[in-house]
Amino acid sequence: MTSPSPLRRTRLRPTDLLRLGMIGPRTRKMRTALSALGISLGIAAVIAVTGISASNQAHLLARLDRLGSNLITVTPGRGTDQQPAPLPPTAEKMLANIAPVQQVTATGATKAEVYRNDLVPKEQTGSIAVLATRLNLMDVLHATLLRGKWLDEASANLPVTVLGDQAAQRLGVTAPGERVRLGGQWYAVTGILAPNDLAPELATSALVGWPQATAHLGADGTAATVYLRTHPERVPDVQAVAGATANPANPSKVAVSRPSDLLTARNETKGALTGLVLSLAGVALLVGGVGIANTMVVGVMERRGEIGLRRALGARGGQIAAQFLLEAVLMGGIGGIGGLIVGALTVYGYALAQGWPASIPFHTVVAGPVVAVIVAALAGLHPALRAARASPTDALRSA
């Protein structure tokens, strides 16, 4: 008789391990569904919290940007004689070439004065400045009109003007269509500007199209004030180079406005909301991890008979641990993907209802399912090791 061959230790192939890992989800569908639902709700909470907070943050920051936190004003500085030093003719174009600058507009000085009619004494100017203006001034400054309409390509070449609200009041103009005496000629008023906190000097100005001012009102085509809209995160960088860019020969003779208090408020708001998002996400992940761990511990206790039988049939402790760990990872992956979908739908629905721009950070979209798997693996590690250490006889006795 031939002696039996000695027993050899076998290794589970990846496909076998996957089939073992699917035993629990297949045979306990309700518990698996509820476990995955718990994980999904945890990840959905993370996605929803971060997405809604990010959407709210984007909405608030956009409002601050519209108010002018990313607006820089470049004006002539003063020379050694304390007289204003005009900006070079190329200043506006050079400033527009700064990479983070998104929009540029300007106003230019003229030699004209404005009066209600030709009977008003010359010395009674009402302190109203006549300015040449670019057509995109309203857009860059986010200005609005009380009445009438703004200049366009056609009217920029015609004797028409738009008055600031205080200028209209001083001139006694109450509605578009009235005429004022400007530079010795009659100009029709097409609109009246609403007050604008970003450029209060416009309130006491009469604005004329750049071509008309250059041809008939003594404007030399040089910008007297340049307004820059920059990338919100690059305001300090643009501020640092604006003077040298506008006037490379004499950068000290250029006055560059500092970012307003709105920029400080913007940065503080962004930091506070980011900290809040991270804190809430951490809490949601902690709750999700505790739920997964509880589910896995209960699952091990319920399946002690199965564990004992497999150990009695020769399964090693590592194989038992791998089975339960894989079950946890599978539940985490399913729950993570489901939570991502539910959370994203929640964010987009809430943002749509509030009229906000929907925003879900890309790292959250990627990290959601990944974190679910990692948390599930960590939460299932202790129950898996506990199952691996179970004695076959004790497990069968307690089944």
Which pLDDT tens digit goes with each residue over 381-397?
A: 777 777 777 676 665 55
Q: Print the domain residue range for 102.
A: 70-259
Q: Which of 214, 238, 259 is the last residue of a domain?
A: 259
- Asked if residue 8 is part of any domain, the answer here is no
Q: In the chain, what is the greatest distance between 2 CA atoms, to the nearest angstrom?
A: 136
- The answer on 162 and 249 residing in a single domain is yes
Q: Is 117 exposed, middle or buried (0-12, 13-18, 19+ CB in 10 A)?
A: exposed
Helix (H) or strand (E) holding 256: strand 254-256
In whole angstroms, give the CA distance from residue 208 to residue 211: 9
Same domain, 284 and 198: no
64 pLDDT band, cuts 50/70/90, is: low
CA angle 326/331/337 to nearest 5° reads 125
The verdict on 175 and 219 lying in the same domain is yes
User: Are residue 20 and residue 162 in the same domain, yes or no?
Assistant: no
pLDDT tens by residue, 265-305: 666 666 666 666 667 667 766 766 676 667 667 766 766 66
Neighbours of 54 (CB within 10 A): 22
Do 216 and 312 lie in one domain? The reply is no
Domain-embedded: residue 1: no
Q: Decide: 186 and 179 in contact? Cβ < 8 Å.
A: yes
Q: Are 108 and 210 in contact (CB under 8 A)?
A: yes
Evaluate the CA torsion angle 157, 162, 167, 171 in order and state its sign: positive
- Chain-centroid distance, C-alpha 19: 45
In a domain, 41, yes or no: yes
Q: Report if residue 7 sits inside a domain.
A: no
Does 320 share its domain with 369?
Answer: yes
- In tens, the pLDDT along 328-349 reads 788 788 888 888 898 889 888 9
State which amino acid sits at residue 109: A
SS3 state at 153: coil
Name the residue with higher pLDDT: 379 or 119.
Answer: 119
Picking from 205, 228, 259, the residue at the C-terminal end of a domain is: 259
Which of 125, 130, 114 lies closest to 214, judged by CA?
A: 130
107 domain residue, yes or no: yes
Tell me the mean pLDDT in the region 49-57.
77
- Does 343 lie in the same domain as 275? yes
Asked, for residue 278, whether it belongs to a domain, the answer is yes
Q: Are 241 and 274 part of one and the same domain? A: no
pLDDT in tens, 100-128: 999 999 999 999 999 998 888 888 888 89
User: pLDDT band at 204, cuts 50/70/90?
Assistant: very high
Is residue 9 in a domain?
Answer: no
Q: What pLDDT score does 92 carry?
A: 92
The end-to-end CA distance of the chain, in Å, is: 41
At residue 12, what are phi and psi to the nearest 5 degrees?
A: -80, 130
Token reading at 262: 């709105």
Query: Tell me, what's the pLDDT at 61?
Result: 66
Q: Would you state the structure tokens that stand for residue 12, as one six-digit string?
A: 């589970």
Bridge partner residues of 160 (DSSP): 188
Q: Check whether residue 54 and residue 116 sit in a common domain.
A: no
| Number of domains observed in the structure of the chain | 2
Confidence (pLDDT) at 378: 79
Average pLDDT over residues 304-326: 73
Same domain assignment for residues 236 and 277: no
pLDDT-based confidence at residue 193 (cuts at 50, 70, 90): very high
Most confident stretch, 117-131, 132-146, 305-319: 132-146
In terms of domains, do 272 and 180 share one?
no
Tell which of 259, 284, 318 closes a domain: 259
Mean pLDDT of 41-55: 78
The reported pLDDT for the residue numbered 24 is: 66
Q: Are residues 254 and 339 in the same domain?
A: no
